[in-house]
Structure 1
Amino acid sequence: MTKLSVNINKIATLRNARGANNPNVVQVALDAERFGAEGITVHPRPDERHIRYQDVMDLSKVVTTEFNIEGYPDPRFMDLVKKVKPAQATLVPDPPTAITSNTGWDTIKHQSMLQDIVAELKEAGVRVSIFINPEAKYFEPAKLTGTDRVELYTEPYAVGFPINPENAVKPYIEVSKIARELGLGLNAGHDLDLHNLGFLKKSIPYLDEVSIGHALICDALYYGLENTIQMYRRKLEE
């Protein structure tokens, strides 16, 4: 079964717009779990423009599903993850000024660095996933870093899906087979929504986890959070 991890960054963005604590990030995470989310994802950035580092500490005390912390592995991020010890740390190559993640790691160029980071996190008892583009050349080097999983960067799939779903998903099917052959777990995320999620799942039935935030929170404005989470779950279970 593919787990749904709900990224709650956008909840923090809304809260921060007014400077108080409405909506309450911790309460939304608890409600998301109660409504069927099988994981909670956060992506703290150095400027804390949405999820704050204190949010991560607060969430770590109450999240009972899989807690996934995404981010660029700078010293502050590494210290936070080793202190919190979430179920999973997802490493992304974002510079501090990035609006959102827009590419995966070059695991050839950064293999040595990633190997050291992965070892440090695994020694702390944290499962590691590396954000990666759907290009075959990056998968064996990813395996050599010692990572447990890779997370497929799915924006290119989402962009191509309305035009030709079969062509859009083809490279993802190919690299997913490579990941399985290498013994890597398989996550996916970025721009997945109610329109394209089901087709991705049917094409790659052995996905371990999808992490979805922006589209899910947007849908919740119309359908309500509980109903939206159930709608996404049904797309993964069809």
Structure 2
Amino acid sequence: MTLLSVNVNKIAVLRNSRGGAEPDVVRAARTCLAAGAHGITVHPRPDQRHIRTHDVYALSTLTRTHGVELNLEGNPFAPPREGYPGFLALCDAVRPAQATLVPDGDGQITSDHGFDFTRDAERLHPLVVALKTMGCRVSLFVDAGCEGLEKAALLGADRIELYTGPFAESLARGDAAGELARCTRTAREAQMLGLGVNAGHDLSQDNLGEFLATVPDVLEVSIGHALIGEALYAGLETTVRRYLDVLDDASNGQG
């Protein structure tokens, strides 16, 4: 069965918009885990627009206490600055189960593209090695249909995370066949290279089932924006359970 890691960045966005400690990121994450989520994802950014360093420490303690995985996302090339020690330094401090490397810049509202392995492989190699030495499973954010996946395998990465934004957009337009085919080809190529496959970005209750019914053997999805938005209407615990039902249905369909 595909695992669900809930991204709680948006809880921190709401908290930071007002200041103070509410809504409480850790309480939200605890609620997700109580509802059955398999892990928690956060993507701390250097500009501290949402998840901040103290949140990473607190969520690390929470996930360890619950015996679930913390997936820490970030740009390994972004330099440290006040309040942000750098992605590798954070990983070294909290030792997340998974480190997902994402090539996003400060100006991006959200992650919107994967690595170019022709350009980035040489710089990525020592960082992947360092993260593996810390005991982290390493996942690399990639575009469906990207070239150079064999380089990702040679870097020592464990997994890729498929960027599913274009799939979600195409499904909303009623024309998802092409993007699903690209995602499927990339997933199968990665798996043939010995890489596990994760997926994330703009996945929702409306599109997750169709994605998993087509793309083979997805190990984990990380979902935040849609899940938190849906939870405003249905409640956080109920929404997490609905996602788990989608995953269960997809697993039964593949079985």
Both proteins in one fold, TM over 0.5? yes
Residue 81 in structure 1 maps to residue 84 in structure 2 = no
The counterpart of 1:179, out of the listed 190, 213, 231, is 190
Q: Is the 8 A contact 1:111 1:144 kept in 2?
A: no
Residue 152 of structure 2: aligned partner: 142
Q: Which amino acid aligns with 1:71?
A: G
Once the two structures are superposed, the pairs formed by residues 82-101 of structure 1 within 5 Å of their partners are: 82-101=92-111
Q: Is the 8 A contact 1:91 1:131 kept in 2?
A: yes
Please identify, of 156-165 and 224-233, the stretch whose mean Cα deviation from structure 2 is larger: 156-165
Residue 132 of structure 1: aligned partner: 142
Alignment partner of 1:62: what SS? helix
The counterpart of 1:115, out of the listed 98, 121, 125, is 125
Q: Which amino acid aligns with 1:172?
A: C
Residue 232 of structure 2: aligned partner: 221
Once the two structures are superposed, the pairs formed by residues 50-69 of structure 1 within 5 Å of their partners are: 50-63=50-63, 64=66, 65-69=68-72
- Identity of aligned pairs, percent? 48
Alignment partner of 1:150: what SS? strand
Please identify, of 71-80 and 113-122, the stretch whose mean Cα deviation from structure 2 is larger: 71-80
**Aligned-pair Cα RMSD in Å:** 1.0
Q: Which amino acid aligns with 2:18?
A: R
Alignment partner of 1:129: what SS? strand
Rounded Cα–Cα distance in structure 1 between residues aligned with 2:75 and 2:27: 26
Q: Which amino acid aligns with 2:166?
A: P
Alignment partner of 2:244: what SS? helix
Residue 211 of structure 2: aligned partner: 200
Alignment partner of 2:117: what SS? coil
Q: Which amino acid aligns with 1:166?
A: A
Residue 83 of structure 2: aligned partner: none
Q: Which runs of 5+ in 2 are unaligned?
A: 80-85, 250-255
Alignment partner of 1:187: what SS? strand
Q: After the TM superposition, which parts of structure 1 deviate over 3 Å for at least 4 consecutive aligned residues? A: none
TM-score by length of 1: 0.97
Residue 168 of structure 1: aligned partner: 179
Cα offset, 1:167, TM superposition: 2.5
Q: Is the 8 A contact 1:186 1:208 kept in 2?
A: yes
Q: Which runs of 5+ in 1 are unaligned?
A: none
